[in-house]
Amino acid sequence: MVTIGVFDGVHRGHAQLVHAATAAAQQRGVPSVLMTFDPHPAEVVRPGSHPPQLTTLTRRAELAEAMGIDVFCVMPFTPVLAAQSPKDFVHEVLVERLHASEVVVGDNFTYGKKAAGTVDKLRESGARFGFEVQAISLFGEHAVTFSSTYIRSCVAAGDVESAAEALGRPHRVEGVVVRGDGRGRQLGYPTANVAPPMHSAIPADGVYAAWFTVLGAGPVVGQVEPGARYQAAVSVGTNPTFSGRTRTVEAFVLDTSADLYGQHVAVDFVAHIRPMVAFDSIDDLLAEMAKDVEKTRRVLGE
């Protein structure tokens, strides 16, 4: 039992595919397999066009497991794979490697060289090789299909609330806490400067209410255990009050003084609080930051 796609985001539309695949696998008494690709096919077909990434591979695997998938299969997307004909892809991947008894895809699924393979062609191949095909419409509301493209546009606009609605959870940015210029600590608001992986989908410049979670396999001695979660007021942008040029993700983590440097962390964006602006004075900035913290506590407390 196989469901195929990039699955960036593992959003509510993808959840429909996964539910169908796990239900069918249980009925047939076979494992359910989610097959994704890495790197993103767009980067191989059109180098330099890698879209902003909504989830890391590790996060996708975690989400798939939580939804009941038995096997998370990562297919290296190479120029050789991109050049395969639809027939060769089906025979070599679905039949020879995965021994698929049923394949679940979105109703707009394409595959093979120049995306020449369609759902109808997949059904023809299924009739030949002995597997069934389910094509499912991605779940949507308000006439909007829940797709990774739609979610990326929400994130890019800073509309993290709509992104969360489509994802079924807040949009997450992971990264390692690195040392910044220390200005936040000087102002009384020490921040964790989160350096995300390349291609990460970062929300538009602004201030956000977010959950800040420490990831990792072992404890930070004397400080905080992995899995600990805190409220955070998160600034995304270039710090225009100080004429900054580098775009950063800086989290003022509430109710802890733990040393977070070097830790792998996750920032789950819940709500947009205000746009990024340049203040006339440090006092004006500090007054607004105090309001940001108050709003963060209120939003996350609800």
Q: What value does the mean pLDDT of the chain take?
A: 90
- pLDDT class of 146 with cuts at 50, 70, 90: confident
Residue 51 has what DSSP assignment? P
Residues 86 and 181 in one domain: no
- How confident is the model over 176-200, as a mean pLDDT? 85
Q: Given this model, what pLDDT does residue 81 score?
A: 94
Domain range for 107 is 2-136
- How confident is the model over 99-105, as a mean pLDDT? 96
Q: Given this model, what pLDDT does residue 299 score?
A: 97
CB-side neighbour CA atoms (13 Å) of 263: 25
Residues 131 and 176 in one domain: no
Distance CA 116, CA 108 (A): 12
The tokens describing 61, both together, are 């695997």
- Please return the burial class of 218, using the count of CB atoms within 10 Å of its CB with bins 0-12, 13-18 and 19+: exposed
Q: How many separate domains does the chain show?
A: 2
pLDDT at position 220 over 70:
no
Q: Given this model, what pLDDT does residue 268 score?
A: 98
- How confident is the model over 203-215, as a mean pLDDT? 96
| In the chain, beta strands by DSSP E | 2-4, 33-38, 71-76, 102-106, 132-136, 140-141, 144-145, 171-178, 192-195, 206-214, 229-237, 248-253, 264-274
pLDDT at position 269 over 90:
yes
Residues 207 and 268 in one domain: yes
The residue ranking higher by pLDDT, 280 or 289, is: 289
Distance CA 119, CA 125 (A): 10
Q: Given this model, what pLDDT does residue 179 score?
A: 86
Q: Given this model, what pLDDT does residue 121 score?
A: 97
Q: Given this model, what pLDDT does residue 173 score?
A: 98
Q: Given this model, what pLDDT does residue 246 score?
A: 81
Q: What is the dihedral of CA 61, 155, 231, 182, to 10 degrees?
A: 110
Distance of CA 78 to the CA centre of its chain: 22
Residue at which a domain ends, from 136, 156, 182? 136
How many CB atoms lie under 10 A from the CB of residue 195? 13
Asked whether residue 161 is assigned to any structural domain, the reply reads no
Residues 6+ apart with CB under 8 A from 197: 53, 56, 174, 175
pLDDT at position 243 over 70:
no
Asked whether residue 159 is assigned to any structural domain, the reply reads no
Q: Which residues of 124-157 are buried (b: 16+ CB within 10 A; e: fewer)?
A: bbbeeeebebbbbebbeeeeeebbbebbbebbee
The enclosing H or E element of 295 equals helix 282-301
* Residue 46 Ramachandran class (φ > 0 left, ψ -120 to 50 alpha, else beta): beta
The residue ranking higher by pLDDT, 189 or 152, is: 152
Q: Given this model, what pLDDT does residue 248 score?
A: 93
Asked whether residue 118 is assigned to any structural domain, the reply reads yes
pLDDT at position 101 over 60:
yes
Per-residue pLDDT tens digits for 25-78: 999 999 999 999 999 999 998 988 899 999 999 999 999 999 999 999 999 999
Q: Given this model, what pLDDT does residue 140 score?
A: 63
Asked whether residue 276 is assigned to any structural domain, the reply reads yes
Asked whether residue 150 is assigned to any structural domain, the reply reads no
CATH of the domain at 16: 3.40.50.620
- High-pLDDT (> 90) share of the chain, %: 72
Task: Look at the block and give the residue holding tokens 């394949």.
Answer: 103
Residues 277 and 178 in one domain: yes
Asked whether residue 149 is assigned to any structural domain, the reply reads no
The tokens describing 178, both together, are 């690195």
- pLDDT class of 261 with cuts at 50, 70, 90: confident
